[in-house]
């Protein structure tokens, strides 16, 4: 970054317009602005900062914004415009072209309206040949080019910069390194990745409910139970089969016993009949259900009657389409022509008034026919059919009861038969016979249970699939989380290395520059910037003598530290973060320094910045110090304060 | 009596509603009545062969009991108009609409016919549930008893049964 010019208008002691063109040449890049105390140096320094950073800078350093307005201009009355316009180049965003930025901040104050009105500050930023921005947008651009927390290390008051070297100021040192060397950006990246990892972890816990395992276990248990029940059914079916076989075997043996064959044959015939009756009963039940399902038809008898009554009243005459056609053709149905006054015409019109639409007539006729048919075929027939089926079923039941009674008689006869083997066989047969329905009942019960289990398994499987999907998502999120976490850790290591590297570089550069700047550099063995970011100056005996340094020496050390940061920022940061060097603008540059220090600093400092602007008193820069800078001064101005008009003027000397 | 059935040539006649709706609250009853009931010997057939048959019986019980109840906000669609048989169900539903409105024009308005049947079914279904589903015993027998005990039906059958 290089500042090309600053133009002030009615700013503090500067009445009207004043311009300074700064030295920007590579060889001659030093601008000296000198003036006695009160001539307006600090106002110029303020103008630069106000233009870039606005009212907050003024409030922190001067006070009320209104104090920026030149008093003489105020006295002129009317509309007063106070402005600072800064032109600078910065290639950080446009590396391949020379781009000039023109930033202008202004206050317009209309004294004719209300002298006490709070003045409004406006900011304009023009990027040449490209775009213009205003206020917040413009301020954001400036923050992106040179953030305020960075600029304080390059635009500073020489008398106040020894903050770095006062005891317990490690926080300032650390934040200076972090801001200027962009260590913070690495740290921010790391924090961001940590946040991302945490967010993924939170999502993981939402998706991975841990329910999959218990669900799978429950499903397995159900499947095992189902398998066991199926085996139970097989065993029971085997038992039924065996019981039936035993029954048949017993019947065969009973048949062989003399005098029993007839009874056994009769029993067989009855049992066969009962089996047929069972099938017949199912058939009757289905017929009953089918007829009962049509039961709404006889139930609708009142509706049918009323519907038919209404439909009967509808005149079933000639359709309206035919009557309309006759009217259109003006002819009678028999083909004779008719006219408006003819009686046929009257008849047709009367018929038309009584007719219904063709479509409705068609539906009405159709419905009438259907309803009559229903009455004829269903309304009475369904109850009759139903009665018939119910009666057949009842007859069947009676028959079943009778046959069962006969079976009991046969059983009794066999039990009473005078033959021990026959008695025993019948007894066993009875046991088998009783066991069969019992076993079949059990089988049905188990089948029902299996059906329930199947439904439970289906539901569980649905839940398991949903859980699996959720777990797959959780696994994916876990991978993301780990990746972000690993990246954050990697970045943490980079951050540590980077910060450590920067600290090391700043330390050695500070030491080098400090030794060059102080006249008695040999007296100090080394300058340390320890891990806690405390600056230490070690003398020949190995003692930290920082607390004992003079005010001038501390200012020199601070300068050395700033210069070191400037140098490291340009050469040592990560390529993507490398900044264009910033200019160094020093107010009251050498106020506290002894002659020796001034001579050293003026010799060294032009080499550590690509542009140097010094605000000095006539006493600060003279003799050898001035000579040291002479070959590099590209612009020199003198500020003059006129006590009578209480205004300052800028006079170009060189 | 002129009909607007032809309508404006540019105006397409609206398609009549096709789905038959019931109050959601009665849906479980319709399901239960058309499903076999699990019991020890698994002999209990569903008393109704279809939801359509439940709906038809409910409509005429509702009419005979003079219980016409508009459907509430939560509805369930249970079957399509095509399930009604053209020989029996459709003429009966038309007769129901005619008996209700005494207006022959209702015959050309399927939407009106449906609404009348739905609202009577909404009134009649409760009676069916009480007498078939909630009563002990075989449900088909309960259905026959319901038909047998129904007054108009009973009068009709008094000479037969």
Task: Report pLDDT digits (tens) over A9-30.
Answer: 999 999 999 999 999 998 899 9
Written as six digits, the tokens of B142 are 């309960």
pLDDT tier for residue A148 given thresholds of 50, 70 and 90: confident
Task: Report pLDDT digits (tens) over A478-499.
Answer: 888 888 888 888 888 877 887 7
Residue B116 contacts residue B110 (beta carbons within 8 Å): no
Cα–Cα distances in angstroms (integers) from residue B23 to residues A651, B27, B30, in the given order: 96, 7, 11
Residue A33 contacts residue A47 (beta carbons within 8 Å): no
Quick check: A601 pLDDT over 70? Answer: yes
Residue A632 contacts residue A31 (beta carbons within 8 Å): no
Identify the bridge partners of residue B22 per DSSP, sorted by sequence position: B76
Residues A367, A616: Cα–Cα separation, whole Å: 115
Task: Report pLDDT digits (tens) over A286-343.
Answer: 999 999 999 999 999 999 999 999 998 776 566 677 778 888 888 887 888 888 888 8
pLDDT for A62 equals 73
Q: Is A370 on the interface with B (CB under 8 A)?
A: yes
DSSP label at residue B58: H
Please give the residue of chain A at the shortest CA–CA distance from B60: A300
pLDDT for A554 equals 80
Using CB atoms and an 8 Å cut-off, which of residues 183-222 of chain A contact chain B? none
Residue A107 contacts residue A117 (beta carbons within 8 Å): no
pLDDT for B4 equals 40
Quick check: A576 pLDDT over 60? Answer: no
Quick check: B71 pLDDT over 90? Answer: yes
Residue A637 contacts residue A652 (beta carbons within 8 Å): yes
Phi (first) and psi of residue B38, to 5 degrees:
-75, 125
pLDDT for B12 equals 55
Average pLDDT in the A113-130 region? 69
pLDDT for B90 equals 96
Quick check: A167 pLDDT over 70? Answer: no
Residue A128 contacts residue A91 (beta carbons within 8 Å): no
Residues A29, A70: Cα–Cα separation, whole Å: 31
Most confident of A88-97, A363-372, A527-536: A363-372
Q: Are strands A2-11 and A79-89 parallel, antiparallel or unpaired?
A: antiparallel
Quick check: B5 pLDDT over 60? Answer: no
pLDDT for B3 equals 39
pLDDT for A113 equals 53
What percentage of chain A reaches a pLDDT higher than 90? 36
pLDDT for B9 equals 42
Q: What is the mean pLDDT of chain A?
A: 85
pLDDT for A594 equals 78
Task: Give Cα A127 distance to the centre of its chain.
Answer: 36
Indicate the domain borders of chain B: 19-157
Average pLDDT in the B9-32 region? 84
Residues A44, A20: Cα–Cα separation, whole Å: 10
Residues A599, A610: Cα–Cα separation, whole Å: 20
Task: State the SS3 of A52-106.
Answer: HHCHHHHHHHCCCHHHHECHHHHHHCCEEEEEEEEEEECCCCCCCCCCEEEEEEE
| Residues from chain B contacting residue A319 (CB–CB below 8 Å) | none
Residues A101, B63: Cα–Cα separation, whole Å: 89
Quick check: A619 pLDDT over 70? Answer: yes
Most confident of A140-149, A560-569, A643-652, B74-83: B74-83
**Is there a contact between B107 and A285 if contact means CB atoms under 8 Å apart?**
no
Quick check: A477 pLDDT over 90? Answer: no
Q: Are strands A535-539 and A524-529 parallel, antiparallel or unpaired?
A: antiparallel
Quick check: A372 pLDDT over 90? Answer: yes
Residue B124 contacts residue B59 (beta carbons within 8 Å): yes
pLDDT for B124 equals 96
Average pLDDT in the A65-77 region? 84
User: Which of B36, B38, B99, B148 would best serve as a mutation to test chain A binding (most A beta carbons within 10 A)?
Assistant: B99
Quick check: A117 pLDDT over 50? Answer: no
Q: What is the Cα gyration radius of chain B?
A: 18
Average pLDDT in the A150-162 region? 77
| Residues from chain B contacting residue A379 (CB–CB below 8 Å) | 156
DSSP assignment string, A178-238: HHHTTHHHHHHHHHHHHHHHHHHHHHHHHH--S-HHHHHHHHHHHHHHHHHHHHHHHHHHH
Identify the bridge partners of residue A410 per DSSP, sorted by sequence position: none
Written as six digits, the tokens of A175 are 């934040």
* A293: nearest CB among B2, B49, B107: B49
* B99: nearest CB among A289, A306, A447: A306
| Residues from chain A contacting residue B107 (CB–CB below 8 Å) | 360, 363-364, 367
Task: Report pLDDT digits (tens) over A189-246.
Answer: 878 888 888 888 888 777 777 788 889 999 999 999 999 999 999 999 999 999 999 9
pLDDT for B152 equals 53
pLDDT for B76 equals 96
Closest alpha carbon to A222 in A467, A463, A456, A464: A456
Phi (first) and psi of residue A436, to 5 degrees:
-60, -55
Q: Are strands A584-587 and A612-616 parallel, antiparallel or unpaired?
A: parallel
Residues A159, A589: Cα–Cα separation, whole Å: 7
Average pLDDT in the A513-541 region? 81
Residue A425 contacts residue A253 (beta carbons within 8 Å): yes
Task: Report pLDDT digits (tens) over A28-53.
Answer: 999 999 998 888 988 999 999 999 98
Whole-complex ipTM: 0.89
On the 0-12 / 13-18 / 19+ scale of CB atoms within 10 A, A402 is exposed
Average pLDDT in the A434-462 region? 93
**Is there a contact between A383 and B157 if contact means CB atoms under 8 Å apart?**
yes
| Residues from chain A contacting residue B61 (CB–CB below 8 Å) | 299
Range scoring the smallest mean pLDDT among A75-89, A421-435, A599-613, B22-36: A599-613
Written as six digits, the tokens of A89 are 């180049």
DSSP assignment string, A597-646: HHHHHHHHGGGG-SSEEEEE-TTTS-THHHHHHHTTEEEEEEEEEETTTT
Q: What is the mean pLDDT of chain B?
A: 85
Range scoring the smallest mean pLDDT among A182-191, A409-418, A497-506: A182-191
| Residues from chain A contacting residue B144 (CB–CB below 8 Å) | 288, 292, 295, 386, 390
Cα–Cα distances in angstroms (integers) from residue B128 to residues A68, A184, A287, B33, B38, in the given order: 94, 79, 20, 9, 20
Written as six digits, the tokens of B48 are 């109704």
pLDDT for A30 equals 93
pLDDT tier for residue A119 given thresholds of 50, 70 and 90: low
Task: Report pLDDT digits (tens) over A52-62.
Answer: 988 877 777 77
Residue A214: CB atoms within 10 Å: 10
């Amino acid at each position: 970054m290089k500042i090309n010019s600053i133009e002030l208008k009615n700013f503090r002691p500067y009445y009207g317009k004043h311009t300074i063109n700064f030295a920007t040449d590579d060889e001659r890049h030093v601008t000296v602005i000198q003036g006695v105390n009160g001539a307006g140096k600090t106002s110029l320094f303020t103008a630069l900062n106000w233009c870039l950073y606005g009212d907050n800078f003024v409030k922190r350093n001067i006070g009320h914004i209104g104090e920026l307005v030149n008093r003489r201009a105020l006295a002129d009355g009317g509309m007063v415009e106070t402005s600072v316009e800064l032109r600078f180049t910065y290639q950080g965003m446009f590396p391949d072209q020379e781009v000039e930025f023109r930033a202008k901040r202004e206050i317009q104050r209309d004294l004719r309206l209300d002298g006490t009105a709070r003045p409004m500050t406006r900011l304009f930023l023009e990027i040449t040949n490209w775009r213009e921005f205003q206020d917040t947008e413009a301020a954001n651009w400036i923050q992106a080019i040179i953030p305020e927390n960075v600029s304080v290390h390059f635009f500073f008051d020489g008398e106040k910069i020894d903050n770095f070297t006062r005891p317990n100021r490690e926080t300032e040192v650390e934040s200076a390194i972090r801001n200027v060397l962009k260590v913070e950006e690495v740290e921010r990246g790391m924090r961001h990745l940590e946040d991302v990892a945490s967010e993924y972890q939170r999502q993981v816990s939402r998706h991975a409910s841990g329910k999959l395992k218990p669900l799978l276990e429950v499903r397995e248990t159900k499947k095992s139970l189902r398998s066991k029940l199926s085996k139970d059914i097989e065993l029971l079916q085997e038992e039924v089969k065996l019981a039936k076989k035993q029954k048949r075997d017993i019947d065969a043996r009973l048949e062989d016993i003399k005098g029993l064959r007839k009874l056994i044959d009769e029993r067989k015939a009855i049992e066969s009949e009962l089996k047929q009756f069972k099938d017949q009963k199912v058939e009757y039940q289905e017929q009953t259900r089918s007829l009962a399902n049509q039961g709404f038809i006889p139930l609708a008898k009142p509706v049918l009657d009323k519907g038919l009554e209404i439909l009967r009243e509808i005149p079933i005459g000639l359709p309206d389409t035919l009557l309309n056609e006759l009217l259109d053709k003006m002819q009678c149905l028999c083909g004779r022509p008719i006219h408006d006054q003819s009686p046929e015409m009257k008849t047709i019109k009367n018929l038309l008034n009584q007719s219904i639409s063709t479509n409705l007539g068609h539906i009405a006729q159709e419905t009438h026919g259907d309803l009559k048919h229903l009455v004829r075929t269903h309304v009475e027939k369904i109850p009759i059919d139903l009665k018939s089926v119910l009666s057949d079923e009842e007859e069947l039941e009676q028959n079943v009861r009778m046959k069962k009674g006969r079976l009991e008689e046969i059983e009794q006869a066999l039990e009473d038969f005078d033959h021990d083997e026959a008695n025993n066989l019948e007894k066993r047969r009875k046991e088998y016979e009783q066991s069969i329905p019992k076993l079949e009942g059990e089988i049905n019960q188990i089948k029902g249970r299996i059906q329930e289990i199947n439904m439970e398994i289906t539901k569980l499987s649905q839940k398991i699939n949903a859980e699996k999907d959720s777990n797959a998502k959780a696994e994916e999120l876990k991978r993301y989380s780990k990746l972000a976490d690993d990246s954050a850790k990697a970045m943490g290591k980079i951050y540590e290395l980077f910060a450590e590297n920067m600290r090391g570089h700043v330390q050695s550069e500070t030491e080098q520059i400090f030794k060059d700047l102080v006249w008695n550099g040999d007296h100090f063995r080394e300058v340390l910037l320890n891990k806690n970011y405390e600056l230490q100056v070690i003398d020949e005996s190995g003692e930290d003598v920082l607390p004992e340094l003079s005010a001038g020496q501390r200012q020199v050390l601070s300068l050395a530290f700033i210069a070191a940061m400037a140098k490291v920022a340009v050469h040592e940061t990560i390529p993507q973060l490398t900044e264009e060097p910033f200019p160094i603008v020093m107010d009251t540059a050498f106020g506290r320094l002894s002659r020796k220090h001034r001579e050293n600093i003026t010799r060294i400092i032009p080499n550590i910045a690509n542009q140097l602007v010094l605000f000095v008193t006539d006493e600060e820069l003279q003799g050898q110090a001035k000579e040291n800078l002479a070959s590099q001064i590209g612009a020199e101005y003198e500020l003059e304060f006129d006590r009578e008009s209480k205004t300052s003027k800028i006079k170009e000397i060189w | 009596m002129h009909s607007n059935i032809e309508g404006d040539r540019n105006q397409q006649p609206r398609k009549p509603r096709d789905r038959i709706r019931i109050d959601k609250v009665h849906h479980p009853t319709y399901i239960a009545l058309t499903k076999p009931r699990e019991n020890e010997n698994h002999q209990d057939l569903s008393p109704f062969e279809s939801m359509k048959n439940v709906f038809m019986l409910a409509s005429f019980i509702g009419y005979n009991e003079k219980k016409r109840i508009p459907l509430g906000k939560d509805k369930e669609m249970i079957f399509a108009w095509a399930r009604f048989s053209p020989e029996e169900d459709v003429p009966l539903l038309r007769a129901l609409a005619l008996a209700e409105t005494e207006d022959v024009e209702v015959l050309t308005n399927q939407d009106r016919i449906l609404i009348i049947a739905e609202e009577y079914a909404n009134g009649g279904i409760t009676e069916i549930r009480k007498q078939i589903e909630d009563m002990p015993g075989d449900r088909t027998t309960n259905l026959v008893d319901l038909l047998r005990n129904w007054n108009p039906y009973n009068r009709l059958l008094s000479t037969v049964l």
